[in-house]
Amino acid sequence: MSTVAHAETHGHDHHGPPPANVSSRVDSRLLGIYIFIASEIMLFGSFFTALFFARVIVAPEAWPPEGFHLPVYLALVNTIILVTSSFTMHWALQSIKRNYRAGLIAGLTLTFLLGLTFLLIQAREYSRIGFGPDANAFASTFFGLTGLHGAHVFVGLSLLAFALVRSIRGHFGPDAHDHLGVEIPGIYWHFVDVMWIIVYMTVYVL
């Protein structure tokens, strides 16, 4: 044990690592995604801070400024679409927990399509809105926050696509450690959904 020779004397044992002790009730991968989401919330926080400064500290006379309008009702439709997709995601996860594979695939497909619809409607909204991000601080924060959120929808959609490919290929099962590949994209998707409600309330409604 006392010198480098140790590695040589014991090196012949061709063995894998001893299993690590599990010192927490939370699965490491679930903990990982929760910590990652905490970090993501702070990233959104910095964008909300920029909005706060432009709107509350600078305090222009009107917000949105004269001549700028946001399609509040179109965005409400989008909100409903995204909230619905959280329920279909939940259905997908519950299905695999009961080993109901068709429900898993249908749920993931529905969630993916709803998320895609959301993104396409948002792209349409951008192209018809009548101003660009360079118009003024209002436009900058609008495109900043909705664009940051759109990027997160895109990441969420990619994760859903990965889970969908794997479930079509027959992966995942009812055991808790066997459907983490559905659960973790699901947690991320719910985060994206809740974050949209906050973005919608702050940017469009308030």
Partner 1 sequence: MSATLHAPAPRRTGIRRWTAGGWLRALWTTPLAFLLATGLVAGARAALGYEPLLAQQPYITTLMVMVPIGFLAGIGAFDYWARYVSGRPTIPDDHASHGAHSWKDYFKVNTDHKVIGTQYVVTTVVFFIVAGLLAMFMRAELAEPGMQYVDPQAYNGLFSVHASLMIFLFIIPAFAGLGNYVIPLMIGAPDMAFPRLNALSFWLLPIAGLMMLSSYFIGAFGAGWTNYAPLAVQQPDGNLMFQMGVQWAGASSIMTALNFLVTIITMRAPGMTFWRMPLLVWANFATSTLVVIATPFVAGSQFFILFDRVLHTNFFDPGGGGYVIAYQHIFWFYSHPAVYIMMLPGFGIVSEVISVFARKPIFGYRLMALSLMAILILGFSVWAHHMFVSGMADWLRVPMMVTTMVIAVPTGIKVFSWLATLWEGRIHFKTPMLFALGFVSMFVIGGLSGVYLGSVPIDIHVSDTYFVVAHIHYVLFGGSLFTIYAGFYYWFPKMTGRMYNETLGKIHFWLTFVGFNATFFPMHWIGTRGMPRRVADYDPMFGNWNMAISIASFALGASTLVFLYNMIVSWRRGEPAPSNPWRALTLEWQVSSPPPIFNFDEIPQVVGSPYEYGVRGARHAILNGKPVQEGREAAPMEETVP
3-state SS, one letter per residue, for the chain? CCCCHHHHHHCCCCCCCCCCCCCCCCCHHHHHHHHHHHHHHHHHHHHHHHHHHHHHHCCCCCCCCCCCCCCHHHHHHHHHHHHHHHHHHHHHHHHHHCCCHHHHHHHHHHHHHHHHHHHHHHHHHHHHCCCCCCCCHHHHHHHHHHHHHHHHHHHHHHHHHHHHHHHHCCCCCCCHHHCHHHHHHHHHHHHHHHHHHHHHHHHHHC
Least distance to partner 1 from the beta carbon of 39, Å?
5
Least distance to partner 1 from the beta carbon of 55, Å?
9
Closer residue to partner 1 in complex, CB, 12/102: 12
Distance CA(115)–CA(151), nearest Å, equals 12
Closer residue to partner 1 in complex, CB, 133/174: 133
Closer residue to partner 1 in complex, CB, 3/73: 3
Closer residue to partner 1 in complex, CB, 171/190: 171
Least distance to partner 1 from the beta carbon of 44, Å?
8
Least distance to partner 1 from the beta carbon of 190, Å?
19
Least distance to partner 1 from the beta carbon of 152, Å?
13
Closer residue to partner 1 in complex, CB, 81/147: 147
Q: By the criterion CB under 8 A, which residues form the site for partner 1? A: 1-8, 10-12, 14-24, 26-28, 31-32, 35-36, 38-40, 42-43, 45-47, 49-50, 53-54, 57-58, 60, 65, 133-141, 143-144, 161-162, 165-166, 168-169, 171
